[in-house]
């Protein structure tokens, strides 16, 4: 396993230690599993959609949860197997799955819908007012220092 050194990045930036943890996590958890296939679309400046191909799964077989910035989609068929079915060819994967997506700051899951074997999960970036860019006034003259008085 290869380790990436982010020290040069930290010399010119503040608060990117989370980026290092995120990349390290991504490198550890990428096991090459591509089931089920999915798309991530940007619909607008602050709206996104994850679409997963979940043919054969119903609403009751799927679970979508968000916990601490991680969106987890799991699929598991109910235990109702029909032993009378004899498959000549079985190409539709019906195996259980779990897929995780790390959400960026201020991304909220707005809802989900299952349509024609595709699970659509709607996301939106909602930045609070206090986090939006603001103009900082630069005063001329001597800097004003705030003195702390001992109590």
pLDDT in tens, the chain (151 residues): 566 665 665 555 555 555 556 666 655 555 567 789 999 999 998 899 999 999 889 999 999 999 988 899 999 987 666 678 888 988 877 789 999 998 888 899 999 999 999 999 999 998 888 877 888 888 887 666 655 555 5
Kindly report the CATH number assigned to the domain that includes residue 104: 2.60.40.790
Which positions ≥6 away from 63 have C-beta within 8 Å? 72, 73, 74, 75, 76
| Pair 25, 40 in one domain | no
Which positions ≥6 away from 125 have C-beta within 8 Å? 46, 47, 48, 104, 106, 107, 108
Residue 99 belongs to a domain: yes
Domain extent, residue 5, equals 1-30
Residue 24 belongs to a domain: yes
| Pair 104, 68 in one domain | yes
| Pair 24, 71 in one domain | no
Stated pTM of the model: 0.66
Q: How many domains does the chain have?
A: 2
Provide the token pair at 53.
Answer: 């191909």
| Pair 51, 105 in one domain | yes
Residue 103 belongs to a domain: yes
């Amino acid at each position: 396993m290869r380790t990436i050194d982010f020290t040069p990045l930290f010399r010119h930036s503040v608060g990117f230690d989370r980026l290092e943890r995120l990349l390290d996590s991504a490198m550890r958890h990428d096991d090459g599993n591509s089931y089920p296939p999915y798309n991530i679309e940007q619909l607008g400046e602050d709206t996104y959609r994850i679409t997963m191909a979940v043919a054969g799964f119903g609403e009751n077989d799927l679970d979508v949860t968000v916990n601490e910035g991680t969106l987890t989609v799991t699929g598991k068929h109910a235990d109702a197997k029909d032993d009378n079915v004899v498959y000549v060819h079985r190409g539709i994967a019906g195996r259980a799955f779990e897929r995780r997506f790390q959400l960026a700051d201020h991304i909220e899951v707005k809802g989900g819908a299952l349509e024609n074997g595709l699970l659509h999960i709607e996301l939106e970036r909602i930045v609070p007012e206090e986090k939006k860019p603001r103009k900082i006034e630069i005063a001329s003259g001597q800097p004003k220092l705030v003195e702390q008085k001992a109590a």
